[in-house]
Chain A
């Protein structure tokens, strides 16, 4: 299990961290460990405390209470904090470059750390090249485009050769193609350097691509931590499910049970699901829209669940179509636009919706 205690000393460990702002407890983390060389992605809705947590971990915000350890050594005094900050690097959502040349910006952290000028020059050059911006070295940093500036801030962070890298929604303000290109470069750099990384994002794609583990933080505390697959396919509770965009969340009650196969009554319908729940437990059922298939005929597929429904709305989104169906309960299916066209889907049309008993995730309530 990925949630077991690791054998090695965690690169970073937080215990009972709380942050109070204006009399409100905005962060309350009982325990969080960042393992050496892992990429931990912190996800959560806006205002959930992701950035606050990151600032605490990066020693840029003093929590009201709690303990932090770097490599098993508790962080106690101010002198230690400066030294630890010099062993890590932080990339914020905005590039936050100083009013100077790109070169000056990338070498600044190295100069603060009193790295020898030869080495500092070599490292800056290396990372400017690595992020494809060596030709911008003499340019004024604040005149760069958003994507270029972001690359400078990443080069500045990696040139420090940090033991821990903190990133706060680093790709947020970029347009889609710029973001995609940078994400690919960043991903290969992460794989190569194997730097221990804590990254805050609310982009599910970034988590899926980059994360070894994902922590979901909701209302200031960690609701679930695990591999991306665990988080996205088996959310721990309704809130996590809602956040990870498990769009079909239905409340029901277990009515039948045969070995691992249970029947869950949702209104007048029964969904068959593989689960260890018992009769008559109350549960929430999560069905990801991608797992629902549609057909014009009652099919003989192996899917245990087949419902007849009427299309209430079709929302195109890029190459996909989001189809909302009323099957006696609301169900959303995500299918390619092409198959939606081929099937001649339109509002008011009757279709058959199928999904497997194993594709449904059940949360006890």
Chain B
């Protein structure tokens, strides 16, 4: 019991005084996960829209791959990205291993199937007659896709929440490809793992509170947008 109370007390001291290490770790976490979400959002919306609308051989197989990817374990993703970025690996020349970029790549790989899957599902839910109406209004191919994506923006917000939530809170891939290097690739989750390992519960709890607060704030913001423009 003492351990927990001391931990919480220390956490508040660290938070109130704005401990530089805590701030650094928090900022890196935010930057890396937002970047990963943004990149996979950009690619995922395009992929999801195309796969949602197009009919081609092997489509069903591709969809099943995406659905599997939506639940892929971050540790396995970390493993694959590590193999690719390893000094002697296919992308070893880029020297990205143990850099924040490596974490962005790994987290992108985790959130891309999630955002692609959500986009695909929401695009497919659009009434086929509405699609016809958009074409009838004189939309070119690109205008058509753009209108569809805009019209499904509410379900797409769910994709953003799910994507960001999955990457900010994953630890396996960030640990493996980032290496939890102090001042370079240490993010909230890897730091928590390390502090708990060391028995420094105060710092771990402080970081845990920040992580929860971040996830909550981002989702709160998206929820406000979603509910404000909800049609019903």
Task: Give A residues with C-beta under 8 Å from B.
Answer: 55, 58, 60, 82, 85-86, 88-90, 92, 94, 96, 98-100, 108-109, 112-113, 140, 142-143, 156, 160, 166
Interface residue stretch chosen among B29-37, B96-104, B134-142, B215-223: B134-142
Instruction: Flag if A112 contacts B139 (CB, 8 Å).
Output: yes
A88 to B135, CA, bound (A): 11
**17 A/B residue pairs, CB under 8 Å, sorted by A:** A55-B132, A58-B136, A85-B136, A86-B138, A88-B136, A90-B136, A92-B129, A92-B132, A98-B130, A98-B134, A98-B147, A99-B151, A108-B147, A112-B138, A112-B140, A143-B232, A160-B137
Instruction: Give the number of chain B interface residues (Cβ < 8 Å).
Output: 20
Instruction: Flag if B143 contacts A140 (CB, 8 Å).
Output: no
Tell me, rounded to whole Å, the shortest Cβ–Cβ distance linking A152 to chain B.
12
Tell me, rounded to whole Å, the shortest Cβ–Cβ distance linking B206 to chain A.
42
User: Do A109 and B138 form a contact, CB below 8 Å, given A92-B129, A94-B129, A140-B231?
Assistant: yes
Interface check B133, CB cutoff 8 A = yes
A143 contacts which chain B residues (CB < 8 A)? 231-232
Instruction: Flag if A109 contacts B137 (CB, 8 Å).
Output: yes
Interface check B63, CB cutoff 8 A = no
Taking A85-B136, A99-B153 as known contacts, 9 extra A-B pairs with beta carbons closer than 8 A to each other, sorted by chain A number, are A60-B135, A85-B135, A85-B138, A92-B129, A99-B151, A108-B137, A109-B137, A112-B143, A160-B138
Tell me, rounded to whole Å, the shortest Cβ–Cβ distance linking B155 to chain A.
10
Tell me, rounded to whole Å, the shortest Cβ–Cβ distance linking B20 to chain A.
46
A143 to B147, CA, bound (A): 19
User: Do A90 and B133 form a contact, CB below 8 Å, given A85-B138, A96-B127?
Assistant: yes
A160 contacts which chain B residues (CB < 8 A)? 137-138
Interface residue ranges of B78-128 to A (CB < 8 Å): 127
Interface check B154, CB cutoff 8 A = yes
The 9 lowest CB-CB distance pairs between A and B, nearest first, are A86-B138, A90-B136, A96-B133, A109-B137, A142-B231, A112-B138, A96-B130, A85-B138, A98-B151
B151 contacts which chain A residues (CB < 8 A)? 98-100
A90 to B137, CA, bound (A): 7
Interface-central residue, A58, A82, A96, by most chain B CB under 10 Å: A96
A66 to B147, CA, bound (A): 31
B127 contacts which chain A residues (CB < 8 A)? 96
Tell me, rounded to whole Å, the shortest Cβ–Cβ distance linking B58 to chain A.
23
B139 contacts which chain A residues (CB < 8 A)? 112
A343 to B154, CA, bound (A): 64
User: Do A92 and B138 form a contact, CB below 8 Å, given A98-B151, A99-B151, A112-B143?
Assistant: no
A96 contacts which chain B residues (CB < 8 A)? 127, 129-130, 133
Checking B129, B137, B154 against A112 with a beta-carbon cut-off of 8 angstroms, the contacting residue is B137
User: Do A89 and B140 form a contact, CB below 8 Å, given A99-B154, A142-B232, A143-B231?
Assistant: no
Tell me, rounded to whole Å, the shortest Cβ–Cβ distance linking A221 to chain B.
24
Instruction: Flag if A99 contacts B231 (CB, 8 Å).
Output: yes
Interface-central residue, A55, A88, A98, A113, by most chain B CB under 10 Å: A98
Tell me, rounded to whole Å, the shortest Cβ–Cβ distance linking B173 to chain A.
36
Task: Give B residues with C-beta under 8 Å from A.
Answer: 127, 129-130, 132-140, 143, 147, 150-151, 153-154, 231-232
A140 to B154, CA, bound (A): 14
Tell me, rounded to whole Å, the shortest Cβ–Cβ distance linking A82 to chain B.
6
Which residue on chain A has the smallest CB distance to residue B132? Answer: A60
Tell me, rounded to whole Å, the shortest Cβ–Cβ distance linking B142 to chain A.
11
Which residue on chain B has the smallest CB distance to residue A105? Answer: B137
A89 to B134, CA, bound (A): 11
A140 contacts which chain B residues (CB < 8 A)? 231
A156 contacts which chain B residues (CB < 8 A)? 137
Tell me, rounded to whole Å, the shortest Cβ–Cβ distance linking A46 to chain B.
17
Tell me, rounded to whole Å, the shortest Cβ–Cβ distance linking B228 to chain A.
11
A156 to B137, CA, bound (A): 9
Tell me, rounded to whole Å, the shortest Cβ–Cβ distance linking B78 to chain A.
39
Tell me, rounded to whole Å, the shortest Cβ–Cβ distance linking B184 to chain A.
44
B136 contacts which chain A residues (CB < 8 A)? 58, 60, 85, 88-90, 166
Tell me, rounded to whole Å, the shortest Cβ–Cβ distance linking A17 to chain B.
18
Which residue on chain B has the smallest CB distance to residue A153? Answer: B133
A100 contacts which chain B residues (CB < 8 A)? 151
Tell me, rounded to whole Å, the shortest Cβ–Cβ distance linking A136 to chain B.
15
Instruction: Flag if B138 contacts A82 (CB, 8 Å).
Output: yes
Which residue on chain B has the smallest CB distance to residue A93? Answer: B129
B147 contacts which chain A residues (CB < 8 A)? 98, 108
A86 contacts which chain B residues (CB < 8 A)? 138
Instruction: Flag if B135 contacts A113 (CB, 8 Å).
Output: no
B129 contacts which chain A residues (CB < 8 A)? 92, 94, 96
A308 to B65, CA, bound (A): 77
Tell me, rounded to whole Å, the shortest Cβ–Cβ distance linking A55 to chain B.
8
A292 to B70, CA, bound (A): 71
A82 contacts which chain B residues (CB < 8 A)? 138, 140
A60 contacts which chain B residues (CB < 8 A)? 132, 135-136
Tell me, rounded to whole Å, the shortest Cβ–Cβ distance linking B23 to chain A.
40
Which residue on chain A has the smallest CB distance to residue B135? Answer: A60
A58 contacts which chain B residues (CB < 8 A)? 136
Which residue on chain A has the smallest CB distance to residue B154? Answer: A99
A94 contacts which chain B residues (CB < 8 A)? 129
